[in-house]
Amino acid sequence: MERIHSFSAAGTRLRLARTPLAAAAVACLFSAAPFALWAQDASKSAAAAKLAPRALEQPVLARMLRSQDLKPLLSQTPAGTKPLDTHEAKLDLRIAFTESKIWNPNSQRYDKVKLRSYQSPGTNPDVPFVAPTIVTSPGETVRVGLDNQLPPQPDCHPANINIPHCFNSTNLHSHGLWVSPTGNSDNVLLTLRPGVKFEYEYNLPADHPAGTFWYHPHLHGSTALQVSSGMAGALLVRGDRLPGSDRTGDVDTLLRDETGAAMPERLLMFQQVAYACRGTDGKIKTDSNGFWTCGENDIGQIDNYDDQFGFGVWQKSGRHTSINGTVLPTFNGLVAGRVERWRLLHAGVRDTVNLQLREVDAASASIAGLSGAALDNWVTQHCTGAPLKQFEVASDGLTHAKAIVKSENVLQPGYRSDALVVFPKAAKYCVLDAAAPASASITNAPEDRQLLGIAEVGGAAKVDDVEAFVTEKLVASAKQQMPENVRERVVAGLRDHLRLDDFVPHRTIDKGEINAKGQDVVFNIEDVVEDGKKRTVYMVDGKPYDPSAARDLILGNVEEWRLSSLVGGHPFHIHVNPFQIVSILDDKGKEVSVTGDVDGNGKLVDPQYANLQGTWKDTLFVKKGYHLLVRTRYERYIGEYVLHCHILDHEDQGMMQNVRVLVPDGKGGGISATSHH
């Protein structure tokens, strides 16, 4: 590895990953001038306060100490002693209540809020509810030191562990990383109570995929509340491994511009911060439209699952999905005719995001001062361009064998999508969460359209055929960057509708490789009456979460998993080992993993399953009545971890199950999950 590269952004000195590729790519995150995201001092005039929306800024990069920054270990060589680089990086995260402001378009002012958040060296004080972005590389050890400084909560353990509880206790999950689930690695069965300091250690193997991952709390009973407070950050693994005649490489080595530098990129983290202000009666305050509201002297908080989470609550709240901590941001620094890599990360708790980019009518007025119905009418009148194509090269951090061309990108909670984006000409564009059909959404009902921001694109270039343009840019990069012994093959693949076979991190699992009977996972929700009170029970395989029980798997086995849901749609997520999609059958038995859901006339009505067959993921939406078949290998790691629904309030209330991978004879046992409580 090369030495550490440093960049300065917004006045903060940042220590980045050590590969030249990582340094160049991360520099692109800071290509635009920095802006304050939500900070408008309360003393400023009402007119100044209406300057929102603010410009979009990238989340701050984690200020990490790496092994070369510390007193090095020494290695004795024939030429004498020399520093030994242990390839380690350390980030300290303090967890505490933070007071700040969030823009509320409905009231046209900033709401004061007090939320649990991660704080770290270099945290932008104006954007405290977006955790810093960790950048690492295969073969590096990442240490994250958590210091839980939230106030104590005595007697917070209910008799039923599937009732949300212990909101000030926490832990950490590295979502999507292929690392050990035990000890102080990606162990979500630990509880870190207030006052506890603990260091997680993620030893990324040298063959770890390069891609977009993320981290967030994962303590059963408080996960949704903490993630909804903004306790989430991106975790980027960058790779510089070129493909060879007998191995695949990192797509990072292909995604370069004509100078050989890493392609410009943007990280977009979608969050749904469900803060509310309460009256003296304890009920959430609402305005004349029924949307949640806060007075000038109120402080919004997240403190209750009963009325701040649940079916349809986000839509009724009137809150807006934020991007990188900003509500209704303006995207600056965009140039027509330039290919950019957009890393899309759904860090929300439960509601679907259906991302579209549409050109704005040239005669449109500013959205300043608009909200509610008026803002939606503006979208109807002015966001009239055809949706731009997005070329998804990876999902959940795992490169596709062929880029998936999308005009709308349906993101469920936990999803990540790496998409290549080209704006064909200079103009303004709407960044939309488009209305999702009932079958595509978490709520199993049509979800309203919402404007997420405005993209302002400059430059003189005009692109008529975006797909051909992207293809030629990647072909030019391949001719320049790829080794001679694979160059022709990579170029031929790109010309065949953007095939990326040389960059897929995992081998396809053929049916003949399967050596065990497989697994069935069934999500369900039932209403029960206990002590005269109605209560909703969230279940996997007919049972709510039981920390003393586990599904046993055997290291080295290769199995098929059959996923289904009896009530509602649920994003299935499993830790440690990703899976490959084999088939998706709709409720009538029709295969939809290639075409997506189409109606009787062949019209596409829900694109989210289109072209998924053969792709790798770690999170996958399971519609009611559908049957999904995936395959997975249990490789390298033993120990106990979890599978669950990534509607996080469902997980907190019981829609989770422990998984225990045993040594190959099946008799190795494991640490009991009872340590969780």
Neighbour-count burial of 496, counting CB atoms closer than 10 A to its CB (0-12 exposed, 13-18 middle, 19+ buried): exposed
In this prediction, residue 26 has a pLDDT band, given cuts at 50, 70 and 90, of very low
Contact of 111 with 277, CB cutoff 8 Å: yes
**Domain final position from 422, 442, 462:** 462
Which of 37-51, 153-167, 380-394 is the most confident on average? 380-394
Can you tell me which residue has the tokens 């490489």? 249
Please check whether residue 256 lies inside any domain of the structure: no
Average pLDDT over residues 224-243: 98
pLDDT of 38 > 60? The answer is no
Strands (E), 414-489: 416-421, 427-433, 450-458
Q: What's the pLDDT score for residue 444?
A: 52
pLDDT of 574 > 60? The answer is yes
In this prediction, residue 81 has a pLDDT band, given cuts at 50, 70 and 90, of confident
Say which residue, 569 or 41, is predicted with more confidence. 569
Phi, psi for residue 387 in degrees, rounded to 5: -60, 135
**Domain final position from 441, 462, 483:** 462
Please check whether residue 310 lies inside any domain of the structure: no
Coil, strand, or helix at residue 513? helix
Are residues 233 and 340 both part of a single domain?
no
Are residues 79 and 207 both part of a single domain?
yes
Contact of 189 with 675, CB cutoff 8 Å: yes
Alpha carbons 129 and 263: distance in angstroms, whole number: 28
Q: Print the domain residue range for 11.
A: 6-243
Q: What's the pLDDT score for residue 44?
A: 37
Q: What's the pLDDT score for residue 310?
A: 94
Count of structural domains within the chain: 3
Alpha carbons 492 and 255: distance in angstroms, whole number: 16
Please check whether residue 546 lies inside any domain of the structure: yes
Residues forming a β-bridge with 319: none
Alpha carbons 120 and 123: distance in angstroms, whole number: 5
Nearby residues of 597 by Cβ (< 8 Å), 6 or more positions away: 439, 586, 604, 605, 606, 607, 609
Are residues 46 and 118 both part of a single domain?
yes
Contact of 673 with 187, CB cutoff 8 Å: no
Are residues 237 and 362 both part of a single domain?
no
Average pLDDT over residues 85-104: 93
User: For position 331, which CATH number holds?
Assistant: 2.60.40.420
Please check whether residue 647 lies inside any domain of the structure: yes
pLDDT of 379 > 70? The answer is yes
Contact of 508 with 633, CB cutoff 8 Å: no
Q: What's the pLDDT score for residue 381?
A: 94
Alpha carbons 68 and 73: distance in angstroms, whole number: 9
DSSP string, 85-122: ---EEEEEEEEEEEEEEEEETTTTEEEEEEEEEEE-TT
Alpha carbons 33 and 132: distance in angstroms, whole number: 18
Q: What's the pLDDT score for residue 407?
A: 96
Q: Which of 3-17, 155-169, 538-552 has the lowest mean pLDDT?
A: 3-17
| Residue pLDDT, tens place only, 98-144 | 999 999 999 999 999 999 999 998 888 888 999 999 999 999 999 99
Are residues 33 and 153 both part of a single domain?
yes
Are residues 228 and 340 both part of a single domain?
no
Please check whether residue 92 lies inside any domain of the structure: yes
Q: What's the pLDDT score for residue 236?
A: 98
Render the burial of 169-205: b for 16+ CB within 10 Å, e for the rest: bbbbbbbbbbbbbbeebbbbbbbbebebebebbbbbe
Q: What's the pLDDT score for residue 72?
A: 66
Are residues 455 and 517 both part of a single domain?
no
pLDDT of 154 > 70? The answer is yes
Are residues 34 and 174 both part of a single domain?
yes
Structural tokens at position 81 = 């002693």
Q: What's the pLDDT score for residue 67?
A: 76
| Residue pLDDT, tens place only, 634-673 | 999 999 999 999 999 999 999 999 999 999 987 765 544 4
Are residues 235 and 337 both part of a single domain?
no
In this prediction, residue 549 has a pLDDT band, given cuts at 50, 70 and 90, of very high
Return the amino acid letter for 374: A
Q: What's the pLDDT score for residue 125?
A: 81
Q: What's the pLDDT score for residue 28?
A: 46
Give the chain's mean pLDDT: 89
Please check whether residue 574 lies inside any domain of the structure: yes
Q: What's the pLDDT score for residue 46?
A: 41
Exposure of 402 in the CB half-sphere (CA atoms within 13 A): 15
**Domain final position from 445, 462, 479:** 462
Please check whether residue 267 lies inside any domain of the structure: no
Can you tell me which residue has the tokens 């999702």? 436
Q: Which of 61-75, 352-366, 408-422 has the lowest mean pLDDT?
A: 61-75
Locate all alpha helices (DSSP H) within 448-517, ordered by sequence.
466-481, 484-495
CA dihedral 597, 600, 604, 610 (to 10 degrees): 30
Please check whether residue 270 lies inside any domain of the structure: no
Q: What's the pLDDT score for residue 439?
A: 59
pLDDT of 70 > 80? The answer is no
pTM for this structure?
0.90
Alpha carbons 498 and 188: distance in angstroms, whole number: 38
Structural tokens at position 88 = 């380690």
Say which residue, 94 or 672, is predicted with more confidence. 94
Are residues 520 and 612 both part of a single domain?
yes
Are residues 548 and 458 both part of a single domain?
no
Q: What's the pLDDT score for residue 36?
A: 28
Structural tokens at position 143 = 């240490």
Q: Are strands 330-335 and 450-458 parallel, antiparallel or unpaired?
A: parallel
Are residues 98 and 227 both part of a single domain?
yes
Can you tell me which residue has the tokens 């303590």? 219
